[in-house]
Amino acid sequence: MIQKEIIVKSRFHYGSNSLDLTIPSEVTKTMKINPGDIFRLIVKEEKGNLVLQYERVYSTKV
């Protein structure tokens, strides 16, 4: 299991009320994440902390 800690900042998504979190290029290259990949978002709270867990459910072929 790979575990890595990286700090990212949420940003406004232009034209909506959503926020974006950036996946750093180091992670996209190492984990072969491509535009169009689809992720399931699991939102939970553990010991008073918000945990956002993303699970890739579809990988595009580039």
Q: What is the DSSP string of the chain?
A: ---------EEE-TTSS-EEE---HHHHHHTT--TT-EEEEEEEEETTEEEEEEEEEE----
Q: How many domains are there within the chain?
A: 1
Whether residue 16 is contained in a domain is answered as: yes
Q: What is the CA radius of gyration of the chain?
A: 13
CATH code, domain carrying 52: 2.10.260.10
pTM of the model as a whole: 0.79
Confidence of residue 4 (pLDDT cuts 50, 70, 90): confident
Q: What pLDDT sits at residue 13?
A: 87
Whether residue 4 is contained in a domain is answered as: no
| Domain extent for 14 | 10-58
Q: What pLDDT sits at residue 61?
A: 84
Residues 25-45, mean pLDDT to the nearest whole number: 96
How far is Cα 41 from Cα 23, in angstroms, rounded to an integer? 14
